A and B are shown apart, each in its own frame.
Chain A
Amino acid sequence: MSTILSLRDLTLYYRTRRGIVRAVDNISFDLEEGRCLSLVGESGCGKSSMAYAIMRILPRNIHTYSGELIFEGKNLMALSNSELSKEIWLKKMAMVFQGAMNSLNPVLSVGEQVSEVFTLHAGLSKIEAEKKAAELLELVRLPSSLVNKYPHELSGGMKQRVVIAIALSMKPKLLLLDEPTSALDVITQANIINLLKKLQKEFNLTYIFITHDLGLASELSDYIAVMYAGRIVELGDARSVLTDPKHPYTQKLLAATPRLMEEAKLEFISGSPPDLAFPPAGCRFHPRCPFVMDACMVKEPQLSKLSERRHVSCLLWEGE
C-alpha cells in the first residue's frame, strides 16, 4: 500500500474580528491508498477546516496557511490556484459536502449540475454528458429520472447521493467527506454509509471522513484521528483507538458514548471546548483533563509515536 497523502505541519489560521483563529495547527500524518481515515472531534475543533486545508479551498480571511501537502508524490503547495482547479480538484481529490444542506445550486436542475462537469471539464457534448450523468446517478442508486428535478424536490438522502455522484464523476483517488450524514435520519445514514463502503471497494477509493459521530467512524474507518482544538491528539488504527484509547480526551469521548449492551453510567466531559482564537496555553485540553499535571499548563505536547501505527499527543505518554 503506497502512501497517497502526506501532511507535514499543515497549518491554517483565520483572521477574524475577535483575533486569529487557529483552526488547524501543525497537523501531520500519512494516509495509505484505499484506506479510510476518520477525523473525529466536537463541533468547532477545526475538523471542517481540515478538509478545506487539505483541498486548499481557502476563504478570503486567511492569516496563515503553511506546511507540506504531498499528494501522490507531488507537493500541492507548489501549485497555483488555477492548476489546482484544472488538475487536482475533482480529478484527483474530491470533496463531498453536506448534501442535505445548501450544497446544490437551487436554480439548476440536478442533471445540469452533474453533467456540467462533463461539458465544462471533459469537453463532452451535451448529449454525451447527459448520458454520463444518468450513469452516475445509477451508480449511487438514484433513478435517472432525477436529472430533470431541482434540488428542492429531493430528500436529504437523495441530495447527499447526488453530491457523492458529482464527487465521483471524474474518478478521483481521494475523497474528503465533510460530515456527509449529519443532517440525515439514522436509516438514511446507514444507507449512505453502505453506499460509501461499496464504492470504496469498487473503485479503490481513499476516504478522509470527517465526523463528530464515533459510531459512524467505527463503521467505516481503518484509521481514526481524534482532533481537539485544531490539533490531533490521538491517531491510530480504528480498532485499537476505540478499544484502548490513550489520550484522556479520547477516553472521555468513549466514556460518553452510550453502549447498547452495557449498563455503564454515562459520563460527560466537564467544561466546554476552547475558543480557537484564544486556546489555552500548554496542552489545549488541560483545563478539562482529569490527569492534568503542572507541566501540561505550560508545555504543548507533540504527537509522539507509541508504536508503528499509534501516535498520541499527551505529556503522559511523551518520552515513551
Chain B
Amino acid sequence: MIVMSSAPVGIKSVMHEILHSKSGVAGVVILALILLTSLTAVVFPDNIVERWNDPQAWLDKPRLAAPEWTTFFTGENPSRTIIVKIQDFKRDVQRIEQLNVTKIELRARVVYDYDTPPSELNIMINLVSEARSLLSVEWIRPDGSTVELLREVAEPGTKAVFAYIDRTVASNVNAYLQKLGVSQSLPIGVVLFSSEKSLASGVPKLIKSHDVKPSRPYELVVVATSESKGFDVEAQLNLLGVVYGLCGTDNLRRDIFIGIVWGAPIALAFGLVAAFVVTLIQAIFGAISGYYGSKIDEIIQRITDVYLVLPFLSLLITIQFIYKTTIWTLLIAVIALSLFGGVTKSVRSMALQVREEPYIEAAKSYGASKRRILFLYILPRLLPYTFANITVSVPAYVFLEASLSILGLGDPALPTWGKLISEAFSGGAAYYGYWWWIIIPSTFIVLVSTAFALLWYSLDKVLNPRLREE
C-alpha cells in the first residue's frame, strides 16, 4: 500500500527533491552536459544522415584509428594525420613556348617526427586538361634518397593514389628495392619511411626529419607536363595517422566522436518522448481505473495483465524485421505496445486511496462531476509519482533503441549509439581489439543511464513514499 500522507505534491516538489540531494545534482549535471553535446549536433550541418553514410566525406581520416589520448598511456608517439592541402603545395610553373608545353611542379614539404609510418599515404591529384598529360610522382626522404612512385601518362580528371595499395606504385617501389639489392618484399609504408642505408642493409629503420642535422622534411614532388591549353594541376597529400581524434575512427573512416555527438539527440529524444508518453498514458489509465472502479476497473486491469506478459521485445523485433521502420515509426510501435503496464497498477492503487479522502467526498457532495474530480483533484496528487516514473524510465527506452540497433533492427540510416555498437560488433571490434569502437559509445549509453540512475536515487522518496518514516 502506498501511503500518501507525507508525499510531496506537484512537479515543483519533485524538482526540489532532485536538486536537494547530491546524487540528484550529479545526475542533472551529467544530463546537462549530454544535452549540450546534442545541441552542438543540431547546430552542425543538417544533412547529418547523408554525410554519415557518404564515404567520400571521410576520405581524409584514417581507418580504425585509436583515440589520440591513448598515446598518453602508451608513451609512444605514433603517427598522427598530416594533411597537406592544395594551397600548401609549392607551385612552380614552367612554360616552354617553343614546344607549347607547360610543366607544373608541385612540392609538398612535411616535417615528420613520429615513431611509426602513417597508416596510409594518399595523394589526390586533379588534372585539368583537354588532353593527356605526363605525370610523375616522387617521394624524397630526409636522407636525400628518392623513390619514384609514379611515372605515367594520365587522363585528365581527379586521380586518387592510395600509395600503400596502388599496383603501379607497388611495382615501382619493388623496382626501387631491387635496384638497392634488397630481395625481400617490404610494406610500402616501411620502404617510404626508412632510410635508404637501413633498407640496403636489410634492417629497415624509420627515419625522422630530425634524425638529420639540420632537420629536413619529407617531400612529395608531383610533376605534370602537358601540351593542352588551360592546363593546371592540383594535389593534396594525406598522411593518415594511426591515432585520430577524441574517440578514434571506425572501419569506414568515420570520426566516432562525431557519431556520438550526432547520436546524442536521437538517443535522448527517443528515450524522453517514449518515457513521457508511455508513463503518462499508463498513469491516466491507472487513475481512471482506480477512480471509476467496478466494470471499467475490471476491464482496464485485465487488459493490463495481458499487456504485462506480452513478449515486448519479440514483437518489436518481428515488427522491425518485417517492416524495417524508421526510428519514429518504431517509437509509435513502442508506445502502442506499452499503453498499459506496471505504472497503471501502482497509480491505480494510489487513486483508490485518494478517492477515499474526505475532500473528494466534499467535492462530490457539492455536485462536482466525476470527470472534474478526476482531473482537478486526483490527477494532481498523482503527478509527483508519475513524473518520477517518467524520469527513471527514460534509460530503458534509450537502451531499447540501442538493443534493437545492435541486432541490426534499428533505423537503417541514423547514426545512433546502438548502431555504432552494432557496427563495431560486426566489424570484429571485440575480436581484433578495436576496443574504442565498442567502449566509447557504450560508455555514453552508460553515462546517460547513470545520470538517470542518480536522479532515480534522489527520487526514491517520491517513488516509495511509505518507506521514509522516521
Query: Quick check: do A and B touch in the complex, using CB within 8 A?
Result: yes
Q: Which residues on A are within 8 Å of B, measured CB to CB?
A: 15-17, 61
Interface string of B9-33 (1 = CB under 8 A from A): 0000000000000000000000000
- With both beta carbons as reference points, the residue of chain A lying nearest to B6 in the complex is identified as A17
**Interfacial chain B residues near A15, Cβ < 8 Å:** 470
Instruction: Give Cα A17 to B5, complex, Å.
Output: 14
Residues of A within 8 A of B470 (CB): 15-17, 61
Chain B residues, Cβ within 8 Å of A17: 470
CB-contacts of B455-470 with A (<8 A): 470
A63 and B470 CA atoms in complex are apart in Å by 12
Residue of chain B at shortest CB distance from A60: B470
Q: Distance in Å from the Cβ of A60 to the closest Cβ of chain B?
A: 9
Q: How far is the CA of A164 from the CA of B271 in the complex (A)?
A: 56
Instruction: Give, as a whole number of angstroms, the nearest-CB distance from B60 to chain A.
Output: 63
User: B300 CB to closest chain A CB, in angstroms?
Assistant: 26
Please give the distance in Å from B417's CB to the nearest CB on chain A. Answer: 42
Rounded to whole Å, the gap between the CB of A58 and the closest CB of chain B is 14
**Within the assembled complex, what's the spacing in Å between the Cα atoms of A290 and B470?**
36
Q: How far is the CA of A159 from the CA of B219 in the complex (A)?
A: 99
Give CA–CA (A242, B470) in the complex, Å: 38
A16 to B470, CA, bound (A): 5
Interface residues of B in 29-48 (CB under 8 A from A): none
Complex Cα distance, B470 from A15, in Å, reads 8
4 contacting pairs across A/B (C-beta < 8 A):
A15-B470, A16-B470, A17-B470, A61-B470
Give 4 nearest A-B pairs by CB, closest first: A16-B470, A17-B470, A61-B470, A15-B470
**B-chain residues with CB within 8 Å of residue A16 when the two chains form the complex:** 470
Scan residues 438-470 of chain B and give those whose CB is less than 8 A from a CB of chain A.
Answer: 470
Measured between beta carbons, the chain B residues less than 8 angstroms from A61 are: 470
Q: How far is the CB of B467 from chain A (nearest CB, A)?
A: 13
The answer for the CA separation of A298 and B113 in the assembled complex, in Å, is 89
B6 to chain A, nearest CB (A): 9
Whole-angstrom CA separation of A61 from B469 in the bound complex: 10
* A183 smallest CB distance to B (angstroms): 17
- How near does chain A come to B1, taking the closest CB pair, in angstroms? 11
A15 to chain B minimum Cβ distance, whole angstroms, is: 7
Residue of B nearest to A14 (CB): B470
Contact residues, B122-162 vs A (CB, 8 A): none
A213 to chain B, nearest CB (A): 23
Query: Roughly how many angstroms separate A310 CA and B470 CA in the complex, as a whole number?
Result: 38
Give min CB distance, B48 to chain A, whole Å. 51
The minimal Cβ–Cβ distance linking A160 to chain B, given in whole angstroms, is 22
